[in-house]
Amino acid sequence: MVNIGAITTAVNGAAGVLKEIGSIAKKAGNREINEHLIDLQQRVIDIQGLLTELIAENEALRRRIAELEHSADIERELKFEESVYWRVRDGKRVEGPLCPNCWDSKRMFVHLTPSESRGVYYCGVCKAGPITTGEHKRLSLDPLSLGPSRFNEDF
């Protein structure tokens, strides 16, 4: 890997040497050498500016790589099940439910907010909802979850 710090030090050192040579050429009175040194100093200054831009771009790319690696790590653990994402480790749900809209469109890891009904969620970021999970569907189909029967057992 390229050591940008070493490059910066070398360019800055070259700029210092050019400045010293410029002083010597000025004292010697050689105008032609002095003009070439001024041109060379300007080019080194340009290189320093480009190096500053390169350092900023390099840092931005390193941050983006870290974000993508983190996203890939999360994606390996995500499982889409019951209309939402769950973070799964060793076959067990460890986190969730997570908004499928936010993850699929923007790779945002957003926890869903539960509603008053069990198994029904809303997203506070993309405003998706109601999102129902299998838990809600199982409860809806379970006759015991409906409460006492309204029919008389004598029929």
User: Using one digit for the tens of pLDDT, what is the confidence trace for 4-29?
Assistant: 788 888 888 888 888 888 888 888 88
Distances from the Cα of 36 to the Cαs of 18, 21, 24, 33, in angstroms?
A: 10, 11, 13, 5
d(CA 75, CA 69) in angstroms, rounded, equals: 10
Sheet containing strand 92-98, edge to edge, reads 78-81, 84-89, 92-98
Say what the pLDDT of residue 137 is: 54
110, 127 contact by CB (below 8 A): no
pLDDT value of position 111: 93
The pLDDT of residue 148 is above 60: no
Longest dimension (CA), the chain: 121
Please state the domain extents for the chain. 4-74, 82-146
Residue 85 CB coordination number (10 Å): 25
CA 87 – CA 111 distance, rounded (Å): 11
Specify the pTM: 0.54
pLDDT in the model for residue 135: 66
The model's pLDDT over 72-129, given as tens digits with 9 standing for 90+, comes to 888 899 999 888 999 999 989 999 899 999 999 998 889 999 988 888 999 999 998 8
Q: How far apart are the C-alpha atoms of 122 and 66, rounded to whole Å?
A: 29
Which secondary-structure segment (H or E) carries 47? Answer: helix 31-77
What local confidence, expressed as pLDDT, does residue 144 receive?
45
Of the ranges 1-15, 35-49, 67-81, 132-146, which one carries the lowest mean pLDDT score?
132-146
